[in-house]
Structure 1
Amino acid sequence: MSATSGGSADPTPSVIAVVGPTGSGKSDLGVNLALALDGEVINADAMQFYRGMDIGTAKINVAERRGVPHHLLDTMDVTQEASVSAFQTECRAAIRDIHGRGKRAILVGGSGLYVRAALDVLEIPGTDPTVRQRLEQEWETSGLHALQERLQGIDPVSAGRLSDARRVIRALEVFELTGRTFSSFMPQREYFQPAVQIGLDVDRAVLRERLAERVHRMVGAGLLDEVERLDAAGLRRGKTASRALGYAQFLRVLDGETDTATAAEETIVATRQFARRQLTWFRADPRIHWLDWQDPDLVAKAAEISAKRASVI
């Protein structure tokens, strides 16, 4: 049931969401908004849930948080699989807690579906490990094409949109468990409670160079050593963590399949591709207020937008 924006004497505060592509400065803006508006930050970057995945995810460190409480950081081991459904429950509980203490909840992250799960009216179908395992075995024996053909027959909308094995398997699992197509569960653009979304509008050429420089800094800061430590902690067993940008590429260095320079270049390419997908996702949402990521008055403008109470639509 969605919230309403009408005249309550004690209206529900708007959740503030800072979104945009990786490397655009979301974490810094989130902290600055929290300081300006007496808020607390909730992480919505799926890879930053993982303990020890610090360098490769550009996770904000304690000093950079400047005393602002951060929620849903470092909550999982690398062997665990991230769940949109679990995040939705935990994130909404954090929002209630923050608002209940008179603070502002500020959601920060670029994982589009996780942001939607937190903000929008969204029903998330359950899972079944037995069904999932069977479908994964079919993928290993028959290949992705066979699963895609089956999905095409029951859910052509999802079949046209999904290309990787994990999501195709999920779509088939949902249909088998519920009798409904995966696409029928896609969220409408209706806020679960009042919200304001602020997007960081980037200069793409500048961002491309910035992402390359960031990957090289990560390598210099010890990314390979971090991956090696996490490998010993079970990184390869983690279905989510093992696919993270940089970590998948540098596991191949540990295996002797490539060298550090090549892994860095592969990570740069993959990160740029990911940033483009993020921009495509967020650009499709007309509710987002876009601000220039390099505007010297960025914090003031974002605070002004955030101070306004949004409707649920």
Structure 2
Amino acid sequence: MTLTRRDQKSLAVCGHDGEGLCALAWVWHWGTPRAKLTEGKVSLERRRVSQRRVSHSSEKGSKLGSSLHLPAPQDVRVYSYNFRSSLRWSPVKVDGGPVLYTVHFKTGAFNQWDEMNCTHISRTECRFPQLLNEPRWTVTLRVRAELGPAVSDWVESEPFVAERNTTLGPPRVSSVPEAQSSDSLLISITPPIASRRGDSLLYHVSYWENSTSAMKKEMSTSNTLFKITDLKESTLYCFTVQVEFMTLSDFKILGLPSAPQCYSTTISVGLFFIWRYHNTIKYWSRPPFKIPSHFEEVCVDFLFSPIPSPCTRQW
């Protein structure tokens, strides 16, 4: 069978497209080749249009996903207590699943953002790693919310310096019973932080009698074991202690005061003996029986009288 020039040209077009649809649609029968060729070319064109639509839809979805934007975290602050610090923020609430967070940091010496130990976390707090627990470093942090491909803007914290911005807790205070006396109390203090090289701790003590009209007295010391003197014996005293942290650069942080605690002085040995044996002492301390002096003169006169003397009468 011999093909016409027009049929050969059509087959050449199909072969040039490389799809093979025209070859499959070709029926070697007179009167059908041209119709089948046309149908094959239409099918090929439909397939190309479909592919272009899928590609356009995928590209549009990709652009939509990259343009999703989450609300940024709020109330981003650094909280520090006794030089243990962390970044905290309010949770971001959106539909579509749990929101994750990522935190970065930079220091005053190296002004470049770096990752912390808080990447794609679900909690709303990120504790400082040991690397950042340097009291004199200036640290800035930032956090953003993440949900799949959607992210929020970064929110930065205020620059933070631990030796200036941390909160010092109260010390632990106790009395040493074995060293108590009638006029003093021996006090022991456990500081909330360890003293660092170049820094110092000063303890401000306020104490008063446990009465409504008592006046507060104050003293300061750098010792963790000290004595409060010139107290009344057998009296209940209450006191609080507040730590003052002083840095090498003369910057000061006044800590939280301890809760009032009350301890009593002891009674002196002499008073204790009198109190313990007061009945016996009272009995033996009664004055002995003694004749008044004007009766003694009468008794002397009766010594030389025949009348019996009343001084010798048995009472």
| Structures share fold, TM-score greater than 0.5 | no
TM-score, with length taken from structure 1: 0.21
TM-score, with length taken from structure 2: 0.21
> Looking at CA atoms only, which structure, 1 or 2, has the larger radius of gyration?
2
Q: Which has the higher contact order (CA 8 A, sep 6+)?
A: 1
Which has a greater percent of strand?
A: 2
